[in-house]
Amino acid sequence: MTSTIARVLMWQFLVGLGLAAVLWSLFGSVAGYSALLGSLVCVLPNAFLGLRLVVPRRDPGALKRAAWVGEMGKLALTVLLFTLVFTSVRPLNAAALFAGFIASQLTVFGGFLMRDDTDTRTSNTNGS
């Protein structure tokens, strides 16, 4: 599971970086760094959630609590980072910011395709 989380985070960042490069070349530096900031607003909270989930736990209830805290922390970090960006960064291209965020967030769906055979066998064994 750890490798899948790391790959998803890596791809989220790379998608955001690629989008930022394209927007930078087409619309200028403000659009480029705005898209990159939007990507980071997505990736950093997801990294927090991922770290909460990969710490080994013996009790299934502890994993459930870790997921709950991770998800609430992810939401709080996302709100905090958007607030910081909107209050601190001038000039800012809001459309590019949200494009970077959404593109990186949609990369999570690709994570389902990134699961390797070990993850699948582990899931099937635990689910049976």
- Parse the chain into domains and list their residue ranges: 2-119
Contact 17, 39 (CB under 8 A): yes
Taking the chain, what is the end-to-end CA distance rounded to the nearest angstrom?
18
Q: For 21-54, what is each residue's pLDDT tens digit?
A: 999 999 999 999 999 999 999 999 999 999 988 8
Do 100 and 16 form a contact (C-beta atoms < 8 A)?
A: yes
Query: Per-residue pLDDT tens for 1-19?
Result: 568 888 889 999 999 999 9
Cβ proximity of 37 and 99 under 8 Å: no
